[in-house]
Amino acid sequence: MPRLQSRYSALNASLILGILWGIWHLPLWFIPDSFQSTLPFGGFVLATVAMSIITTWVFNHTHGSVLLAAILHAATDVTLAYSNVLSGDLRLFWIFVVLQSVFAIFIVITLGAEHFSKNSDLRGTTVEYE
């Protein structure tokens, strides 16, 4: 993320990472017993893009904490695994996707696409690579 944000806005970096993140999971649609095999791939990619925006926001506001970003990811996965969202009822999945997307849009609208912050520049607070 620091490398992407050194070249792109937080929004564009999140969109790039979210799409790659969704494609990374594509092989799971070919495993019959995986929970992804029962979900619409487009909806999953939309959810990963929204999650990428939310995770970037957490990352930028914790001075580049990969640990807190990973905890957010794990908490989301555990919530999905132990709730009825992945039970096969696609309405619950789509409700999750919409709620996650609305929160991501809220972040972008209220904080701005550049850094997801009212501060002038959070890039200096994250780990930079040369």
pLDDT recorded at residue 88 = 66
| Residue 129: inside a domain | no
Please give the tally of structural domains in the chain: 1
Residue found by looking up tokens 């070249």 in the block: 7
**pLDDT surpasses 70 at 121:** no
| Residue 59: inside a domain | yes
pLDDT recorded at residue 120 = 44
| Residue 42: inside a domain | yes
Residue 111 structure tokens: 């904080």
Domain housing 48: 2-124
| Residue 112: inside a domain | yes
Share above pLDDT 90 across residues of the chain, in percent, rounded to a whole number: 45
Mean pLDDT computed over every residue of the chain: 83
Instruction: Record the pTM.
Output: 0.83
The residue that leads in pLDDT, 46 or 86, is 46
Q: By C-alpha distance, which of 101, 102, 84 is closest to 93?
A: 84
Where residue 110 falls (left for φ over 0; alpha for ψ -120 to 50; beta otherwise) is alpha
| Residue 28: inside a domain | yes
Span 47-104, pLDDT tens digits: 999 999 999 999 988 888 899 999 999 998 888 777 766 666 788 889 889 999 999 9
